[in-house]
Structure 1
Amino acid sequence: MTNDQARPVRGYFWSRDGKYLLYSQDKGGDENFNIYAVNPAEALPAGQAVPTARDLTGLKGVRVQVVNVPLTDTNTLYIGLNDRDKAWHDLYKLNLTTGEKTLVRQNNDRIGAWEFDWNDQLRVASRSNPDGSTEWLRVEGDKLTPFYKTSIDEQSNVAAFAKDNKRVYMVTNMGPGRNLAEIVLMDPATGKEEPFQADLQKRVDVGNLAVSEKTHEPVFVSFEDDRMRRVWKDKEFEKDFKTASAKLNGLDVYPVSNTTDERLWLLSASSATQPSVAYLFDRQTKQLTKQYETRPKLKSSDLADMKVVRYKSSDGLEIPAYLTLPKGVAAKNLPVMIVPHGGPWGRDTYGFNAMHQFLANRGYAVLSPNFRASTGYGKKFLEAGNGEWGRKMQDDLTWGVKYLIAQGIADPKKVGIMGGSYGGYATLAGVAFTPDVYSAGVAIVAPSNLMTLLNAIPPYWEAMRKQLYARMADPGTEAGRAELARMSPLGSANKIKTPLMVVQGANDPRVNKAEADQIVVALRDRNYPVQYLLAPDEGHGFARPVNNMAMFAASEKFLSKHLGGRFQESMSPAVAKRLEEITVDPKTVTLVKETAVK
């Protein structure tokens, strides 16, 4: 359907009538996405292998958002464009055939989300207030009327309209009595709410609410615990789902999509040792038909299982984590890799994890902790990370190492750390603030100076700026600047004695290239060896396969040298050439003069 040599397509969906395959694409990782359409039925020009992709939005330096895919008008998308104001997206109607854009609503009210009802009428919006609070508004013509508000420390989100097309399912943890987010049924006209679903085990926040587009009734509510759980609301769906799942040998099964009449389901089945396999399930005949494997060359018998572990951190807080042990060797005195997730306001989950499998195959025990500030475990766990970058959040990783040593799993002299985004920051913080813990670090798109990080955030992050300040520190105050300096690994670069590899995308709009340059120069100026990979055609994390292969070829050799794991010496000529091209001599790195505090 597509043949984009410059960059893989990472997100796609069908138009409602199945006429177009739609996808978003940026340039070199700059995250300024346009929307493209492919018509699979068109006649191919001579010598052309795939249909022509049309750029429907055709904008430069603009981040296009998909807001609504209406059922009532299959030739339309509702999209958000920040071409007028870089910080806020105006609402447009996009014609899929012609690409014509029609302004629906100019965003002069700091609107962060628009919500449509079952008739595809704009009914609700959320406003991000300057103080960091979120306000929900009824949309009545040109008038916006508030009906619900959550503070900077609280969460609220409209999951769907109810069947009556009046009330909404609101995900919320508002109020001192709620630690875990739950779903309530709320009437925007009155603000009245009634309970709908919370975690009956009182362990985690509510996850996803699935609602039937045919009946407009809830199907299930999911909860991401150590493993995912579901509470079924539709008993017929539950019965059919269990029939399909029973044929898949204990794999975790996830609904992906369905036909409009809900007879046919596309399902994804996977486990820690089974990459996702797609199946088609016919609810009428109960027939399950395999469609394809996402990674057919990986055999389950070669992959390592993942298990849940829990340990106490420095202050006694319990940290849930996922551990993968290499196959074929005793789980004793192993080299270890700590792999913290990005965000940091996200979380790791159970299942097939390519990084875990790669590192376990090379002989490492791999631990991914859901450190404090990880999402899904309630307000208290999230807020326990406020102001704790490089401190207790880092302790949660360090005490994970101590746990593995105490269990006899880890060789204390062969512990490495590797991650991207916040995981990259945690890598730098690990080698800077706890230099005796780690023997190797690979920092991918990693913030090194939190002042320059916050000064360089994209304009369209304006809605979350105040929240960033609340959870990290406010660079507009003297005390905040002091805290950011304390939390910045760059300020402790003179303490680093761990071999380090730094990986960066030149076009990263979130973690600017300067973040990598600064730490590389700081180490270089100490005459301390540091390896630096810089891809000119990447952004916040590598997407192009040749760049990824080059990065992992370099990193596994680097880790092998310092931790003793295996590595594959051979690589294709294309990967070898690319690795040479993106390897930077630290002597050549120059710093751009810092901009003033905004």
Structure 2
Amino acid sequence: MRTLHLIGLGLLAFGTGGAAAPQADPGTVRLIERKDLFGNPTKTQARLSPDGKWLSWIAPRDGVLNIWVAPASDPGQARPLTAEKTRPIRSHFWAPDSSQIMFINDKGGDENFLLYGVAPAGGEPKLLTPFEKTRVQMVGTSNHVTGRILLGINNRDARWHDVYSLDLKTGKLTLVMRNDGYAGFLADDQLNLRMASKQRDDGGSDYFRVTGDKIEATPLVTIGLDDSLTTGPAGFTADGKTLYWIDSRGRDTAALLAQDVATGKMTTVAESPKADIGGVMADAETGRVQAYSIDYLKEEWTAIDPGIGADLDWLRKQLKGEPIVGSRTRADDRWIVAVDPVVAPSTTYLFDRKAKKLSKLYVSRPQLEGAPLVAMYPEEIKARDGLTLVSYLTLPAGTDPDGDGKPDKPVPMVLFVHGGPWARDEYGYSSYHQWLANRGYAVLSVNYRGSTGFGKNFITAGNLQWGRKMHDDLLDAVGWAVARGVTTPDKVAIMGGSYGGYATLAGVTFTPTAFACGVDIVGPSNLQTLLKTIPPYWEAGKQQFYKRMGDPTTEEGRKLLDAASPLYKADAIVRPLLIGQGANDPRVNKAESDQIVAAMRAKNIPVTYVLFPDEGHGFARPQNNIAFNAVAENFLGKCLGGRAEPIGDSIRASTAQVPEGAGFVNGLAASLPAR
């Protein structure tokens, strides 16, 4: 499947679905074990090799996610290709020539991702970028020049990624372009660099034409701040004559445009007044777009190519849901297709287009088949100034027998806030929604202003609004839930990761009595120190952060950032707070959690702090994720009165340390190992 480069910038990304499931008394609903929700999936991320000979996926090997491979003609003959013992492999892709499977991995969550390759026939994985303190980026692949790929490597200067060509047969890296100040490069299907982008002082971007090894001095295109997260080149057709753009210039939501490279003429391919163009499917041979998606309340695909449209319609009838196409052969005769029923685990199939045949490959979490999973309801909530906040509500089983998205009587609620903030919540199965609903809570996730996917004006409405109007949106959503009878004002917790963790800290400091308690996962407490410690390879995005958050190089900006920093209002905290942090987090430094814990300790304000020495921005190892969620659900149970599976041995199975407040969570102190 050919992928176009869609726009996005997530500083603090950390994420979160269907007909109603059978209802029962919520107190008698089976408690779904944490390991079934947050442990390793049985299989995930199936891929077809471009030549169609192989199938690959990620699955546990000795309890750690590794890459497996099987002949496409006989998936039952699967065998593991890698043998990671500690750090799970979370993504992989096939080399264009089908010679090897490639994957990235870091150490302990430091996000210094290096590139590895392993042949489908077996053998030891080869480290293809043998450097230290380096983060590899993909710059370009081709369906026609299949013997090499283009990589961005920042081993020379941590701020900038030089472009290298990697010979897939020999492993040789050849410098293509030294990078001294450019945010990124765009290559065509012949792997020629065609455009380079550089951030402007106003937070926008300039795009420059690249010819050979020369970058023109005068920008070809200039994008302002307002359009910077919703506009950019998306990729060339195979002949190099058409350049696709995701583009919001002169409109609000980002449209898909096709530009004639010779004349510069733009033609609108697809647009929506409600949401940005999301994903695209493109022809592997020609590179021309065949289908596109719009994601407002739910993601919906529209085909341009009649053949693609006929197959998508056929799949919808067979799967009784929107098909998710994950991988395609170069001949486009077979697809990997999944369906997400929300109230059941997702199922992945191999689809033979010519024979119109679906072959079931696997259920991602078969242990959840028959579990009391519940529906997710898309909602449109009005903010106090009239903005529409697309949100998602999940209710505990047994509380909504008529399936109208409203419980018969109010229940405790968790406001689960997404990270980014330049990201979004989506409709679909969510382990967090299902877990919390199973424990007896309504769960509400809100796309507050600043979230992406709903046009540039919605993003811009969040500029300089951390802890201000962005927080008001969350409060307005809680007010909506109270008015609707979902919950009561005294029974709402706030929880989230990354920016969602910041929102939690803002909630318990700026509005100390608005929430019954808070769960902060890798959230920043001091916006000035956050911006001082962002990774060096985010240098190209620094001005954008300053313009959208507050500029720490000016007195006015520093005052703005300090006023929006929960650290300086820590003495206002009167509600229980739980904090989780990865010691190696490169985005939200450990000091962000340390600072607010120290400030609370100095004022004798209780707080529980869980630290993982082998994690970064979020908890990648299932043992650690399960352990933190064990603490979280017992913390929430004490605060909101919901159900909780005992902590048990989950802490001992993890690397969790509890520097502060173990006694404030039921069962936590007794569960700690002697270290």
Deviations 1:220-256 (A, max 9, x none): 111111011222110011101211221112x221111
Shift of 1:123: 2.1
Which stretch of the first structure deviates more once superposed, 4-13 or 299-308? 299-308
Secondary structure, counterpart of 1:427 in structure 2: helix
Counterpart among 233, 244, 265 of residue 158 in structure 1: 233
Paired-residue identity, %: 44
Deviations 1:41-84 (A, max 9, x none): 13xxxxxxxx4222111111111112122333434221101111
Counterpart among 270, 285, 291 of residue 197 in structure 1: 270
- Compared CA separation, residues 78 and 580, structure 1 to 2 (3 A): closer
Equivalent residues of 2:139, 2:187 under 8 A apart: no
Query: Mapping of 1:207-222 within 5 angstroms?
Result: 207-222=278-293
Distance (Å, rounded) in 1 between the aligned partners of 2:439 and 2:324: 30
Does residue 144 of structure 1 match 2:215? yes
Distance (Å, rounded) in 1 between the aligned partners of 2:146 and 2:158: 29
Counterpart in the other structure of 2:166: 94
Equivalent residues of 1:147, 1:190 under 8 A apart: no
Which stretch of the first structure deviates more once superposed, 295-304 or 406-415? 295-304
Counterpart among 3, 22, 32 of residue 112 in structure 2: 32
Counterpart in the other structure of 1:11: 91
Counterpart in the other structure of 1:269: 339
Query: Mapping of 1:164-203 within 5 angstroms?
Result: 164-174=239-249, 177-199=250-272, 202-203=273-274
Does residue 423 of structure 1 match 2:496? no
Does residue 444 of structure 1 match 2:521? yes
Counterpart in the other structure of 1:2: 82
Secondary structure, counterpart of 1:153 in structure 2: helix
Counterpart among 144, 155, 158 of residue 83 in structure 1: 155
Counterpart in the other structure of 1:592: none
Deviations 1:372-420 (A, max 9, x none): 0011111111111111111110011111111111111103221101100
Equivalent residues of 1:148, 1:191 under 8 A apart: no
Which stretch of the first structure deviates more once superposed, 273-282 or 219-228? 273-282
Shift of 1:333: 1.8
Deviations 1:74-107 (A, max 9, x none): 3422110111111110000113344321101111
Query: Mapping of 1:529-548 within 5 angstroms?
Result: 529-548=606-625
Query: Mapping of 1:125-524 within 5 angstroms?
Result: 125-145=196-216, 146-155=219-228, 156-162=231-237, 164-174=239-249, 177-199=250-272, 202-249=273-320, 251-299=321-369, 302-330=372-400, 331=407, 332-524=409-601
Q: Return the letter of the residue paired with 1:584.
A: P
Distance (Å, rounded) in 1 between the aligned partners of 2:635 and 2:380: 30
Deviations 1:132-179 (A, max 9, x none): 2212222112332332111122132222213542220111112xx311
Does residue 57 of structure 1 match 2:134? no
Q: What is the count of residue pairs matched by the alignment?
A: 571
Distance (Å, rounded) in 1 between the aligned partners of 2:370 and 2:595: 42
Which stretch of the first structure deviates more once superposed, 326-335 or 339-348? 326-335
Shift of 1:271: 2.7
Distance (Å, rounded) in 2 between the aligned partners of 1:210 and 1:255: 9
Counterpart in the other structure of 1:122: 193
Equivalent residues of 1:172, 1:184 under 8 A apart: yes
Shift of 1:36: 0.9
Equivalent residues of 1:56, 1:96 under 8 A apart: no
Equivalent residues of 1:551, 1:579 under 8 A apart: no
Distance (Å, rounded) in 2 between the aligned partners of 1:245 and 1:97: 41
Q: Return the letter of the residue paired with 2:584.
A: N
- Compared CA separation, residues 141 and 57, structure 1 to 2 (3 A): same
Q: Return the letter of the residue paired with 1:14.
A: W
Equivalent residues of 2:145, 2:189 under 8 A apart: no
Distance (Å, rounded) in 2 between the aligned partners of 1:160 and 1:321: 31
Distance (Å, rounded) in 2 between the aligned partners of 1:407 and 1:141: 61
TM-score, with structure 2 as normaliser: 0.82
Deviations 1:171-204 (A, max 9, x none): 1112xx31111122224455432322211xx111
Distance (Å, rounded) in 1 between the aligned partners of 2:370 and 2:136: 39
Counterpart in the other structure of 2:58: none
Shift of 1:111: 2.3
Unaligned runs of 5+ in 1: 43-50, 588-598
Shift of 1:3: 2.4
Deviations 1:252-297 (A, max 9, x none): 2111111111001111111322332111111111011110111111
- Compared CA separation, residues 507 and 68, structure 1 to 2 (3 A): same
- Compared CA separation, residues 170 and 2, structure 1 to 2 (3 A): same
RMSD: 1.7
Secondary structure, counterpart of 1:548 in structure 2: helix
Unaligned runs of 5+ in 2: 1-80, 401-406, 663-675
Distance (Å, rounded) in 1 between the aligned partners of 2:329 and 2:656: 46
Counterpart in the other structure of 2:176: 104
Deviations 1:450-502 (A, max 9, x none): 01001111111111111111111101111111110110011111111110001
Deviations 1:516-550 (A, max 9, x none): 00111111111111101111100011001110111
Counterpart in the other structure of 1:594: none
Task: Report 1 or 2 for greater relative contact order, CA contacts < 8 Å, sequence distance ≥ 6.
Answer: 2
